[in-house]
């Protein structure tokens, strides 16, 4: 896929990894809709930077855990462009939990955003991809190898891995669906720098990654028309340790 003049929706595109992906798409000449929930200022800043690259960009707010809000998001997308070429499912949350003390509310809060919203965004996007398109889900190495303290998040991302494969099979040949599973690429807010370096030190490359490493992996999956149903792990070999 040549990304120039394509129309892309990036959920969770206001900041962090989503922002890097939206800006990488803009740098490739794609027009972008930057979805956000609460980060309105960050979304506006991302849109302004994308526009500075000569593409059309717009921010749209929606709580993807609400079906009504999701419907309104895609109705707004329809007003901007008659067709959608690219969907990046980046919106997600990661909460610490444990199996013995987690509540049904904890489960629903994560699953509704990380998995259910991704499923229905794929459904709605695919119906708008006239003549074909490409979808990339932002997964997590925790979905491939669980970490203690994040069971619900791990299960949601493991579900996203299967959703990627199921959607790739069902939507082929016109729509390709892939995933990127980042490792330690963005330091959590309030985590000391020393602790962040300790987390990535055991990996073969010995360094944390960058959001740009993820966004470039996304671009690779979009541009290569012979890849579908795959997960590209971007973790500096972290899984090997």
Has residue 62 been placed in a domain?
yes
Q: Which residues of the chain have pLDDT under 70?
A: none
Has residue 96 been placed in a domain?
yes
* Global model pTM greater than 0.85: yes
**Total domain count for the chain?**
1
Has residue 1 been placed in a domain?
no
Residue 130's pLDDT is 85
Residue 161's pLDDT is 98
How many alpha carbons fall within 13 Å on the CB side of residue 29?
A: 7
Model pLDDT for residues 226-235, shown as the tens digit of each residue: 999 999 999 9
CATH no. for residue 165? 3.40.50.720
Residue 56's pLDDT is 97
Has residue 141 been placed in a domain?
yes
Tokens of 63: 């709580």
Has residue 204 been placed in a domain?
yes
Q: How far apart are CA 18 and CA 61, in angstroms?
A: 14
**What mean pLDDT is reported for the chain?**
94
Has residue 13 been placed in a domain?
yes
Has residue 2 been placed in a domain?
no
User: How far from the centroid of its chain's Cα atoms is residue 153's Cα?
Assistant: 14
Residue 191's pLDDT is 74
**143-150, Cβ contacts within 8 angstroms, sequence gap of 24 or more:** 143/181, 144/181, 144/231, 144/233, 144/239, 145/239, 149/96, 149/97, 149/98, 150/94, 150/95, 150/96, 150/97
> Which range of residues forms the domain containing residue 56?
7-240
Residue 89's pLDDT is 98
Has residue 66 been placed in a domain?
yes
Residue 238's pLDDT is 84
Model pLDDT for residues 86-114, shown as the tens digit of each residue: 999 999 999 999 999 999 999 999 999 99
Residue 54's pLDDT is 97
Tokens of 97: 């939990």
């Amino acid at each position: 896929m040549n990304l120039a003049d394509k129309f892309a929706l990036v959920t969770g595109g206001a900041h962090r990894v989503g922002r890097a992906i939206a800006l990488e798409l803009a740098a490739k000449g794609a027009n972008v809709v930057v979805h956000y929930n609460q980060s309105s200022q960050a979304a506006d800043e991302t849109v302004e930077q994308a526009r500075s690259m000569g593409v059309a960009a717009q921010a749209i707010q929606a709580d993807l855990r609400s079906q009504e809000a999701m419907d309104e998001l895609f109705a707004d997308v329809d007003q901007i462009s008659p067709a959608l070429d690219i969907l990046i499912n980046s919106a997600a949350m990661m909460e610490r939990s444990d199996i013995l003390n987690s509540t049904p509310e904890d489960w629903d809060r994560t699953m509704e955003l990380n998995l259910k919203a991704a499923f229905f965004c794929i459904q709605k996007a695919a119906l708008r991809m006239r003549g074909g398109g490409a979808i990339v889900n932002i997964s997590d190495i925790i979905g491939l190898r669980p970490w203690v303290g994040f069971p619900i998040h791990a299960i949601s991302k493991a579900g996203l891995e299967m959703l990627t494969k199921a959607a790739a099979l069902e939507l082929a040949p016109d729509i390709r669906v892939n995933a990127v599973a980042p490792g330690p690429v963005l330091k959590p807010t309030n985590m000391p720098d020393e602790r962040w370096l300790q987390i990535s030190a055991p990996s073969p490359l010995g360094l944390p990654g960058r959001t740009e490493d993820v966004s470039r992996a996304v671009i690779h999956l979009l541009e290569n028309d012979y890849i579908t149903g795959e997960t590209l792990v971007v973790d500096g070999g972290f899984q090997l340790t």
